Amino acid sequence: MNVKAFAQLLLLGALWGAAFMFLRIAAPEFGTFATAGARVGIACAIMLAVVFAMRLTFPLREKWRRYLAIGAVNTAGPFVLYCFAALHIPAAYSAIGNSTTPIWGALIAVIVFKERLNVAGWIGIVAAFAGVIALVGLQSVQITPLLIAGMLSVLIGAMMYAVAGFLIKRYLSDDGGIVGATGMVLGATCWLIPISLFALPAKVPSVQAWVAVLALAVFCTVLGYFMFFKLIREIGPQRASSVAFLFPAFAAFWGWFFLDESITINMLIGMALVLTGTALVSASQHAANSVHWLRFREWILWPLAFTFAPHTLRVRIARRIASDASFFASEVSALRANAPRFVPDIDLDAASREHRLLRFMDRCDVFLSAFREKHTLKHMIVAEGLPPKERAAVCLSAHRGNGWWMLLSLAKQGRPVELVSAPFPKFTTLTDQLWRPYFKLRWREMNRMGGLPLITMKGASKHVRSALENYGRVIATIDIPPALAKRCSEVAFFGRNAYMPRQVIDIAVETNATLWMVFGDVNAETLTQHVRFEPIDTSKGAQAAFGEYAAKLEAAIRQRPGSWHAWGDVDLYFRAN
């Protein structure tokens, strides 16, 4: 979310938070129905004028029944209930109760539409209603029937908003934002104006009360609706709906600043519980489709559980991940779409299970390295064919298998290891910044395991040459397509001419270093990780060694197609820059 959008969201929160204060000013003089009627009547006139001035299509004849029905549920009913509540409870109480709308929405989805709610969602519902109880039950003033009626009115109004959300999605989703909002307000006006005429105040309200009603109509209804639908277009409905989290704070502030309403400890406790519960419910509702939730589950939540679990439970976790199609879905989708073109006899189900297992173990290895390295090395790692210590060595890995522990296996020989890595990722958004600690941990562990700072691909040649001339070890991944790497060379791969970077092989030949290929495999039954080093012949020159590397990689992929992680980019290998 950019600064401009955040500023608009803040302004909208201030406007809608102020609505509860304006209701506290207008309702005592206008009365419940007249306040609601005046608000929607003025707003309706302005919104209709805007629709016709902009020459927007307004399908009143086709949809008047929908506008009446949804206007009653989304506008008329809640406006009346909140006007009644404004006579008996502070503005902040109304705002906090209004924030339970997502809670009611979740309950309706579960009860009516039989949708599932996870544990976090149910905890959120309990927390939200505990907040409402705290709001009423922990206060120092006397609890009266009217105070309880006011809180119930707010909760019923929030429930009506939740019901209206489903109706709008079902019946008005094809309307433009301004047109749909105008139709709803027109429908509410048709309900409230006739009733308001029979509930006019006994005496003319004060100028202050009229100003409050005008503010409710112009700023909190017309401008508020238009800003909200504009934000939906710019930042999406989920982010735009987060404005509800701002209501209580702004309502409490306006009530304190203009109406001398106190901010009490029970208000703060209730606000915290309601907002926490609402956040949990909202997160649980969107979790199934959230890229960030899926990443958190696959990269952090289950890997941490695996790291600290006993072996028998680890096996059960790994089997669940391997067999559950919802894990690493995009990676497996790429495998299933592309692998059959290169490996026609592939068992896609078996390959998918292996792919999920290897991806999962790679994510677990970060935490196993950071928290349980000694235990992991003793019980899970088997290293075979390590290069001799006496000579410099270049170890070529690939996007195949699970080679995290090759760093530590080489470093245990007593020589530091240079790892040629991609640069540390750039984080351009606030959400991306939340992942910085994870990537920093991963980066730090690779540095620590190898004993030397990582070399990024840019300018790596000089460092690689220096390391090899001093009998060091270098690890490099070279199955990188031309779109992601510079100076790629041609090599036979799956019966076609592919392109991958060869420079590190050139340097190995020039410095007379030994050349090795690294394979990392995981035993699906025992979860033992095998790190295997195989020599590559450099006596016939760099191109021949390059061809041997590609041939070994192709053979390993054909044997275990699910072990290769680059299926999503496979076509890029056959396009030269």
pLDDT tens digit sequence for 374-421: 888 888 999 999 999 888 899 999 998 888 888 888 888 888 788 877
CA distances from 254 to 10, 73, 292, 394 (A): 14, 27, 35, 67
Q: What pLDDT shows up at residue 290?
A: 59
Give Cα 397 to chain centroid, integer Å: 32
Question: Distance between CA atoms of 505 and 448, rounded to whole angstroms?
Answer: 25
* Highest-confidence segment of 34-48, 262-276, 286-300, 397-411: 34-48
CA 432, 438, 441, 446: dihedral to nearest 10 degrees? -90
**Beta strand pairing status for 393-397 and 455-456?**
unpaired
Q: Where are the alpha helices (DSSP H) in 87-202?
A: 91-98, 101-111, 119-137, 145-171, 177-197
What gap in Å lies between CA 39 and CA 445, rounded to an integer?
Answer: 61
Q: Provide the pLDDT confidence category of residue 543 given band limits of 50, 70 and 90.
A: very high
Mean pLDDT of the region 541-564: 94
Separation CA 542–CA 289 (nearest Å): 47
> What is the spatial distance between Cα 144 and Cα 140, in angstroms, rounded to a whole number?
12
What span, in angstroms and rounded, lies between the C-alpha atoms of 548 and 518? Answer: 13
pLDDT at 242: 57
User: Is the predicted pLDDT of residue 124 greater than 60, yes or no?
Assistant: yes
pLDDT at 540 over 90: yes
Q: What pLDDT shows up at residue 514?
A: 92
The distance between the two most distant Cα atoms of the chain, rounded to a whole number of Å, is 104
Instruction: Find residue 500's DSSP bridge partners.
Output: 489
Burial class of residue 117 (count of CB atoms within 10 Å of its CB; 0-12, 13-18, 19+): middle
pLDDT of residue 288: 46
Closest to 572 (Cα-Cα) out of 500, 492, 477, 495: 500
Per-residue pLDDT, 289: 47
Does residue 348 contact residue 340 with C-beta atoms inside 8 Å? yes
Both tokens of residue 455? 């070399």
Q: What are the DSSP E strand ranges found in 436-513?
A: 455-456, 473-477, 488-493, 496-501
Exposed, middle or buried by CB within 10 Å (0-12, 13-18, 19+), for 67?
buried
Q: Is the pLDDT of residue 285 over 60?
A: no
Residue 369 tokens, joined: 């390295």
- Domain ranges for the chain: 3-289, 379-574
pLDDT given at position 450: 75
User: Residue 295 is encoded by which pair of tokens?
Assistant: 């990443």
Residue 25 confidence class, pLDDT cut points 50, 70, 90: very high
End-to-end CA distance of the chain: 35
Residue range 448-458, pLDDT digits in tens:
887 766 666 56
Q: Which of 434, 474, 491 is nearest to 293 (CA)?
A: 434
- Taking residues 488-502, report their average pLDDT: 92
With cut-offs at 50, 70 and 90, classify the pLDDT of residue 554: very high
CA dist 30 and 428 (Å) reads 51
Q: What is the mean pLDDT of the chain?
A: 83
Q: What is the pLDDT of residue 246?
A: 67
Instruction: Quote the CA–CA distance of 392 and 188 in Å, as a whole number.
Output: 80
- Whether the predicted pLDDT of 344 surpasses 50: yes
Helices 145-171, 101-111: inter-axial angle, 10-degree rounding:
60
Judged on CB neighbours under 10 Å (0-12, 13-18, 19+), 322 is buried
CA angle 30, 36, 38 (to 5 degrees): 70
**Residue 33 pLDDT greater than 60, yes or no:** yes
Q: Is the pLDDT of residue 243 over 70?
A: no
- At 47, the pLDDT band (50, 70, 90 cuts) reads very high
Distances (CA, A) of 440 to 218, 359, 424, 445: 49, 19, 8, 9
Answer whether residue 291 shows pLDDT above 80.
no
Concatenate the DSSP letters of all residues of 389-457 into one string: TTS-EEEEE-SBS--TTHHHHHHTTTS-EEEEEPPPPP--SHHHHTTHHHHHHHHHHHHHHHBSPPEES
Lowest model confidence (mean pLDDT) among 92-96, 136-140, 438-442: 136-140
Question: What mean pLDDT is predicted for residues 541-545?
Answer: 94
Return the minimum-mean-pLDDT range out of 164-168, 306-310, 369-373: 164-168
